[in-house]
Structure 1
């Protein structure tokens, strides 16, 4: 009986669902896009040879960033492995060409502009005024949008969430503890390699409170399950799905521009994460506590988000100059 059970054909739909679940949605979509780019735009053939992959790298070396090229290689590697073909991206020729691209086109890392606490206060004050004005005018659509944006902004800042975490948060995974805070659970996060799920505690604050902002949004929207942050039409219709990942940055920049924040186009969803990291660091949080709070697994990831309080070492040098000038010269 046991052998008969083993020999029964597996439901392929069920099998494929588990295979798809092993890869994050964003990763899977980006890999699919990379394969389409190789086949349709570059007119490459699959399975590919090492020579064709090397030519592909050379053709886009001056167009695509190093990170994008790495992602394209990873997508090609995965496709070949899954289809049972040799992986051409591991060939010496491909590796040598990629090293050459790194040498001739070195990457300069672009970092999101950190969002400061004073800016958070300014935008929150603008949102409060906009919510009140919408209520008085009876514009439910505007009231919903501003209330949603306030909750998203405050939660994104005080929890240091990435953009995909913000839009992936679900109401049934949020537990609010009155007067204390809220717990946000994610079945899967970027750093959760063991797929154990991650919980993040957010405190209730006396001002700029993310918990009260979240409760205000949930109460006004009437949502009881599903994605927390969704689209809102001008007539006040709330979408069924969560906000699309590509809509978050334009939404944030539009909000900052409306609140009269300078250089709004230089900010992204990562600005909230970097802004909180800088605020915490400047207020005495040690790096270990910050890593545990945000969810970073290694020191290098954390340090990329923290701005030096004296980036040009001006204060240190000035102190050294002052000390030297006050020291009497000895003939």
Structure 2
């Protein structure tokens, strides 16, 4: 084994500082070979040093800045030991070719380990390779920053090189995850790294026993089993992205999660589904809206379009004027991206005219007329004091779209204003209400599935509110 030798400062001084630490055999070999010999790396690779040297793990570049080197061991007596300690910290085999070790000669010499993840290794271990250096073994703060930077990567400009093509593939693979999924993964990785840091445990690569303890502790804080599964998925994705072995498939973690779910069920915990804003409920909510306010006109259009299109809140937030076409029968909304559209083909949603005051087409037209919006997102932030008479002069209506969380809060606040329990409503209420209304009207399951834009019928059941189990009994006549 050889070790790279890096000299800082005057050779005679740094060699003298190292010479005093070497064992007798090494000093003899150095005296014979001289400081400029090609055999120097081989000689120092076998040297025993007393006192031993500090072992550092090289920092990585993030957003154009290099993170600090991380001291991971002290008093390391020889290069092979330094390499083994670095490999253990990173979670790879000592002979891994991506792990390099250098001996830096200065007034205070030290070992510096560096881990450069090869594209080939990444692709073999992960379904989403990363062109950034792997943060394995780094501090929790560096790992969180690396994860955020990786998820936020844009597709690079094509230059014909293989390296850029691989980087582009990485960026496209990251974009396969929906925005809300990436947001949940970011939160999960931050929570894991913060917990591991408090307990002085390695974040990446992680140990399965530590992850199981983390999930149990999070349940103790009151997190729902579904949230814990998201935490587990985030840790899995972190390891795959970094090219590390995935510890979350370990049986101990699976058993921990099974025990958490069963314990939660014994304690009476059931997943809380948001109330369905059925047609009657929606009419009650809309009747309480003050249409003299810009926010009232916006929210009426938002609620009616959300209901008749069975939109998710993220889909409502993403609707742009160029996505909407007015036809004789109503509105045709084309979504370039949707959760159920795995192939990215885009989906078309029909919003028909209705012959009452709850027509989504008329509400949409009225909102555009008073807001003055001619391009860009349809549903935007409105100042609370703005009235419909102000004609959306630009100061009352912002340029940015509402966030999906803002839409959920609007649904809750409008339900509360109508005298309903606002906390029981949320972003899924409009979709659940639309599908439940269709079911009650006797719509064929094929039509309901098409409206829901679900890949399977199994997912459809989660959105239906079945009502009284006796009245709805299959054998009840």
The alignment's TM-score, normalised by the length of structure 2, stands at: 0.59
Bigger radius of gyration, 1 or 2? 2
**Which residues of structure 2 form unaligned runs of 5+?**
1-158, 387-395
Q: Is the contact made by 1:282 and 1:309 (CA closer than 8 Å) also made in structure 2?
A: no
Q: CA deviation digits over 1:288-314, x for unaligned, max 9?
A: 111112212211211222233542348
Is the partner of 2:334 in helix, strand or coil? Answer: strand
* C-alpha deviation, 1:234, in angstroms: 3.4
Report whether the alignment pairs 1:296 with 2:454. yes
Alpha-carbon deviation of 1:264? 2.6
- Separation in 2 of the partners of 1:201 and 1:186? 11
Q: Which residue of 2 aligns with 1:286?
A: 444
Task: Identify, as 1 or 2, the structure richer in strand.
Answer: 2
- What is the CA-CA distance between 1:120 and the residue it aligns to? 2.1
The corresponding residue for 2:107 is: none
Aligned partners of 1:222, 1:262: CA distance in 2, in Å? 32
C-alpha contact (below 8 Å) 1:61/1:105 kept by paired residues: no
Please list every run of at least 4 consecutive aligned residues from structure 1 whose deviation after the TM superposition is greater than 6 angstroms.
314-319
Mean Cα deviation higher: 21-30 or 64-73: 21-30
Q: 2:304 aligns with which of 154, 162, 184?
A: 154
Select 1:264's aligned residue among 418, 422, 435: 422
Q: Once the 2 structures are TM-superposed, how far is the Cα of residue 211 of structure 1 from its aligned partner?
A: 0.8
Q: Deviations over 1:217-261 (max 9, x none)?
A: 122212222221111113542122111222222222221222x33
Match of 2:185 among 22, 31, 42: 31
Q: What is the total number of aligned residue pairs between the two structures?
A: 301
**1:119–1:261: 8 Å Cα contact kept in structure 2?**
no
CA shift in 2, pair 1:224/1:91, >3 Å:
same
Partner of 1:54: 212
- Aligned residue for 1:145? 295
Shift of 1:315: 7.7
The higher relative CO (CA closer than 8 Å, separation ≥ 6) is in 1
Aligned to 1:110: 272
Matches of 1:297 and 1:19 in 2, distance apart?
Answer: 21
Provide the rounded CA distance (Å) in 1 between the counterparts of 2:445 and 2:162: 54
Q: CA, structure 1 residues 7+300, in 2 after alignment: closer, same or farther (shift >3 Å)?
A: closer
- In 1, the alpha carbon distance for the partners of 2:330 and 2:475 equals 43
Kindly tell me: are residues 210 and 47 of structure 1, through their superposed partners in 2, closer, same or farther at Cα, counting changes over 3 Å? same
Structure 1: state its 5+ residue gaps. Answer: 135-142, 320-331
Q: Which residue is equivalent to 1:188?
A: 337
Pick the aligned partner of 1:221 from 371, 378, 389.
Answer: 371
Q: 1:46 to 1:172 in 2, by over 3 A?
A: same
- Residues 249 and 6 (structure 1 numbering): CA distance in 2 closer, same or farther, change over 3 Å? closer
For residue 190 of structure 1, report the CA deviation from its aligned partner: 1.0
Higher helix share: 1
Which residue of structure 2 aligns with residue 10 of structure 1? 164
**RMSD (Å), alpha carbons:** 2.4
Three-state SS of the structure 2 residue aligned to 1:262 is coil
Aligned with residue 286 of structure 2, among 98, 121, 124 = 124
